[in-house]
Structure 1
Amino acid sequence: MTRYLVVRLAGAAATLLAVLTFVFVLVRLAGDPVRLMMPDQATAAEVEAVREALGLNRPLIVQYWDFLTSALGGSLGDSLRQGRPALEVVLERMPATLELAFLSFAIGFAAAVALAATAEVAGSKRLRGLFLWIATARQSAPPFLFGIVMVLILSVNLGLLPAIGRNSWLSYVIPVLTISTFEIALYLRLIGSAFDEMREADWVRTARAKGVSRPRLVLRHMLPNALLPVVTVAGINLGVLIGGLVVLETVFNWPGLGRLIIDSVNNRDFPVVQAGVLAIAASFIVINLAVDFLYAALDPRVRLA
């Protein structure tokens, strides 16, 4: 088990280093932030003075080394626009993104489990097919388009819910509805496939022969086994969800990390971009480590492998 944990931690550290390197190179390919910050009438000497003050006149390898050492020390520089530590700016926006991602994930996953279990307890292929068809039809519409339609119906036409912002619990309804309904199809297919494999298993037939009721068989025995292979996919998908809310946060004017990164890219505020991407990458890595450890705890065969 110890070797398993060490290997996973080493892989996480290597992934984080690769992300740091990629972000450092990418943001510097976007253009000169000093030219964007300075007014058009600024002289070459003034531009150079600001560049020197920010340390952007040094060789890239030196900037890269300083960036790595500062990142390991918990400092990612100051925002070029706000004059505050970039990490502080990012951490202010992080809760809004995490709330939206975790709430949408939890509702989508719970709904998929409930629908799959209901269809299996009922023993109806038509019901399973109906649930899957509806979920797949929803997934065929891009989230941003579905979100805009929901805003038009529920906010503009009916006036039931706020269209943008994060001012009350009602503000969560449309974004969470948009994201969670998109997630249902994925988990519904995975759980349904697991049920299909177990339905003719020897231990299931034995339980039926012993007179175990169908609801008890499904909920107490089949469902826990069906969820085991879904754990890994769910963890990866949650990490992707946290990093993939950029467009939706823009659509709903959600004050989260994705919108902050978009604004910072437009403003060439690369310390904030670096801090934001690093925060998303760190969240993804932590979630995947937690899933790996959970899976190893649930399935001893993973540790042995």
Structure 2
Amino acid sequence: MARYLLSRLLGGAATLLAVLTFVFLLVRFSGDPVRLMLPDQATAQDVAAMRHALGLDASLPVQYISFLRSALQGDLGISLRQGRPALEIVLERMPATLELALISFTIGFFVAVALAVISEVSGSKRLHTAILWVATARQSVPPFLFGILLVLIFSVKMNILPAIGRNDWKSYVIPVATIASFEVALYLRLIGSAFEEMRASDWVRTARAKGISRPRLVMGHMLPNALLPVITVAGVNLGVLIGGLVVLETVFNWPGLGRLIIDSVSQRDFPVVQAGVLMIACAFVVINLLVDFIYAALDPRVRHS
């Protein structure tokens, strides 16, 4: 068990180092931020002085070593645009992204479990087929397009919900509905497939032969087994969700980390981009480590492998 957890920790550290290296190289190949910071009439001497002040005149290996040394000390640089610590700016935006991701994920996951259990307990093939058709139809529509449709209906036509911003609880309705509905479709199909496989298993047939009621069989035996593979997918998907809200935050003008990274990329604000991507990578690694620990605690085969 200890060896399993240690290997996961080392793998997470290697992942963060790879992300840091990739982002460091990528942002520096995107263009020269000095040209954007200085006016058009700036002389070559002005450009050289600014580049030296920012440390951009050093060779790439020297910049990389300096960047890693500072990052290990918790210093991710100063924003080229705002003149403030990049990590401070990122941490200000992080709560908005985490709120939207966690609320949407929680609602989507539990609604999917409830619908899957209702469908399985009822034993109705028509209900099961209808739920799967609705889930498939929702998954076929990209989240950003679905969100725009909700804005057109509830904000433009009906004028009952705000289209953009993060002001009160009404501001959460459309973004959360957009993301949670996609999450419902994903987990519903996974749990439904697991139920379908278990129906033909020997232990389920034996339980039915012993006279165990259908609700007790589904809730007490089938659901815990069906959730084991779903936990792994849910952990990975939550990490992807946190890092993948860039488009939706732009659509809804949500003041989160994704929108900050998009704005910083267009402004070539290297430190903020690096800090933002690193925070997303950290969230992804931490979530996956927690999922590994939970899976090891629930499944003895993992602990003894």
Shift of 1:61: 0.4
For residues 214 and 206 of structure 1, what CA distance do their matches in structure 2 show?
A: 13
AA aligned to 1:249 is: E
Corresponding residue number in structure 2 for 1:186: 186
Deviation at 1:201, TM superposition (A): 2.0
Distance in structure 2 (CA, Å) of the matches to 1:220 and 1:79:
53
Task: Measure the CA separation in 1 of the matches of 2:104 and 2:136.
Answer: 17
Cα offsets for 1:261-283 (capped at 9, x unmatched): 00000111011000000010110
Structure 2 distance, partners of 1:6, 1:213, is 43
Partner of 1:280: 280
Q: Where does residue 122 of structure 1 map in the other structure? A: 122
Instruction: For residue 7 of structure 1, report the CA deviation from its aligned partner.
Output: 0.4
Question: What residue in structure 1 maps to residue 238 of structure 2?
Answer: 238
Q: Deviations over 1:111-148 (max 9, x none)?
A: 11111100100011221111010011011111111111
Match runs of 1:30-179 below 5 Å: 30-179=30-179
Q: Which runs of 5+ in 2 are unaligned?
A: none
Partner of 1:271: 271
Cα deviation, residue 47, structure 1? 1.2
1:178-215 deviations in Å (ceiling 9; x for gaps): 01111112111111111111112222222222221111
For 1:53 and 1:300, how far apart are their aligned partners in 2? Answer: 56
Aligned counterpart, 1:256: 256
SS in 1 for 2:164: coil
With normalisation by structure 1, the TM-score equals 0.99
SS of 1:221's equivalent? helix
Q: Give CA deviations for 1:30-75 in whole Å, capped at 9, x if unaligned.
A: 1001111011111111111111111111111010001111111111
- Take 2:15 and 2:64, find their aligned partners in 1: how far apart are those partners? 17
For 2:279 and 2:152, how far apart are their aligned partners in 1?
Answer: 33
Greater shift, 72-81 or 209-218, is seen at 209-218
CA distance, structure 1, for counterparts of residue 264 and residue 210 of structure 2: 63
Question: Which one-letter code corresponds to 1:153 in the other structure?
Answer: I
* Distance in 2 between residues matched to 1:144 and 1:11, nearest whole Å: 33
**Cα shift at 1:176:** 0.4
Give yes or no for contact 2:98–2:242 (8 Å, CA) kept in 1: yes
CA RMSD between the two structures: 0.8
Aligned equivalents of 2:128, 2:107: Cα separation in 1: 19
| CA–CA distance in structure 2, aligned partners of residues 224 and 22 of structure 1 | 39
Q: Give TM-score, length-normalised by structure 2.
A: 0.99
Q: Determine whether 1:293 maps to 2:293.
A: yes
Q: Over residues 56-99 of structure 1, what are the superposed CA-to-partner deviations in whole Å (9 max), with x where a residue is unaligned?
A: 11111010001111111111000000000000000000000000
Q: State the Cα distance separating 1:284 from its structure 2 match.
A: 0.4
* Matches of 2:4 and 2:76, distance apart in 1: 31
Measure, in 2, the Cα distance between the counterparts of 1:203 and 1:137.
33
Partners of 2:109 and 2:135 in 1: CA distance:
12
Residue 222 of structure 1, CA deviation: 0.8
Paired with 1:190 and 1:210, the residues of 2 have a C-alpha distance of 28
Q: Structure 1 CA distance, aligned partners of 2:115 and 2:174?
A: 21
Q: How does 1:199-218 map to 2 (within 5 A)?
A: 199-218=199-218
Q: What residue number does 2:16 align with?
A: 16
